[in-house]
A and B are shown apart, each in its own frame.
Chain A
Amino acid sequence: MSSAHFRYVLRLGDNALVLGQRLSEWCGHSPFLEEDIAMANTALDHIGRARMLLSHASAIEGKGRDEDALAYLRDEREFGNFLICELPNGDYAFTLVRQYLLDVYHQLLFEALRASADEELAAIAAKAVKEAAYHARRSGDWVLRFGDGTDESQARAQAALDALWSYTGELFTPDAVDDAMQAAGIAPDLAQLGARWRQIVEAHLVAATLNVPPDDWQADGGREGLHTEHMGRLLAEMQFVQRAYPGLDW
């Protein structure tokens, strides 16, 4: 039970950390200044969320590995984030369509986690849900603008959606950890969450004149540490300083 608990909170932290790392890659490269600031702010919210979740995971584990050790000193196979978080940013449409799909997921997840039997997790969720709602407003706005924009922006948003859709199944397919956490009253029912997510996302995609892709093959494996070829490079960059200068602090 406590190892499933650790793993559950760790995975939430890994999603926030890896997505935050990806978003931060836009810093200095976004199409215009306001968006650059928005992207960096959103990245910061995710990294802040990761810090709270990894610190909590560290306390549950109780082995003295703090948030930094968990972030910088684990290898690829030990990371439990969803594959969708680690995919390269692609173009701006890809980044923001992914962000929208995940922002709505996080908003619903944290809303539900406010009632978690894990009080610390409930407190983190109460904090994060407000930010997730704010993020979803911005990314949702971009999905509308791209989808219902020019032929070029529409085609790019549709291509992004088609490429991302088969990475969304993982979000709502419970594994043994999710089942144990739901039984303990710590995690919500993923089937219910998934139905809500679909309702909201599909209505928004239709409003953005985008086609909801068919439900065929779905990628899986992130939670068990089986990552895409992109994960290693992301970690190499994120962990470089701690690997080159172990224990460095400033």
Chain B
Amino acid sequence: MSTPVALDADAVRALLEDVRDPEIPILTIDDLGVLRDVAVDDDGSVTVVITPTYSGCPAMQTIADDIRAALAEAHCTQVRIETRLAPAWTTDWLSAAAREKLLEVGIAPPLEATSDKRVLGGHPRGVACPRCRSGDTELVSEFGSTACKALYRCRSCLEPFDYFKCL
């Protein structure tokens, strides 16, 4: 029988490095900013704090199960998973690495802050095509394959693509 090993917070974070978003599996929950905090109590029990991307995100239960499974592999079973709502998740929490990974698989990352003052007058901001990088794109639907994405089409290469919406 294996004896429980006392882990510190860094070790727990390392174990969670491979827990991924079940709907966008190239991203880890850390990349996404869903993993907010890790704490280890004196008695060795672990608390993992996560935050939902969307209120109705169906992936949260799977993510919680995957966290438990990843920690159980290291014989860590005293785990509490806490869902924290405030501050509300925002796409600003996506890491730079996450944005790169999204582009690689053909998903346009959320637009970043701009200094273009035309947006103040309601001028629409272009989403660049993740394939040919053309800025000549159009919105097909505000809602895409998952709650966090919208559907776009590139007018240059004519390919449809997912855009990770700003929230």
Report yes or no: B57 in contact with A52, Cβ–Cβ below 8 A: no
Report yes or no: A41 in contact with B52, Cβ–Cβ below 8 A: no
Report yes or no: A123 in contact with B86, Cβ–Cβ below 8 A: yes
Chain B contact residues: over half helix, strand or loop, or mixed? loop
Report yes or no: A49 in contact with B52, Cβ–Cβ below 8 A: no
A48, B54: Cα distance in complex, Å: 8
A52, B144: Cα distance in complex, Å: 24
Query: Taking CB as reference atom, which chain A residue is nearest B58?
Result: A44
Chain A contact residues: over half helix, strand or loop, or mixed? helix
CB-CB contacts below 8 Å: A122-167 with B: 122-124, 126-128, 130-131, 134, 137-138
A126, B55: Cα distance in complex, Å: 11
Indicate which residue in B57, B86, B145, B165 contacts A48 across the interface (CB closer than 8 Å).
Answer: B57
Q: Which residues of A contact B134 (CB under 8 A)?
A: none
Q: What's the nearest-Cβ distance from chain B to residue A95, in Å?
A: 15
Report yes or no: A126 in contact with B88, Cβ–Cβ below 8 A: yes
Q: What's the nearest-Cβ distance from chain B to residue A132, in Å?
A: 10
Indicate which residue in B85, B141, B144, B147 contacts A127 across the interface (CB closer than 8 Å).
Answer: B85
Decide yes or no whether B140 CB sits under 8 A from chain A: yes
Knowing A122-B86, A123-B86 are in contact, say whether A37-B145 is a contact too (CB < 8 A): yes
Where the two chains meet, the residues of B that have a C-beta atom closer than 8 Å to any C-beta of A are 52, 54-58, 85-89, 140-145, 147, 151, 165, 167
Where the two chains meet, the residues of A that have a C-beta atom closer than 8 Å to any C-beta of B are 34-35, 37-38, 41-42, 44-49, 51-52, 119-120, 122-124, 126-128, 130-131, 134, 137-138
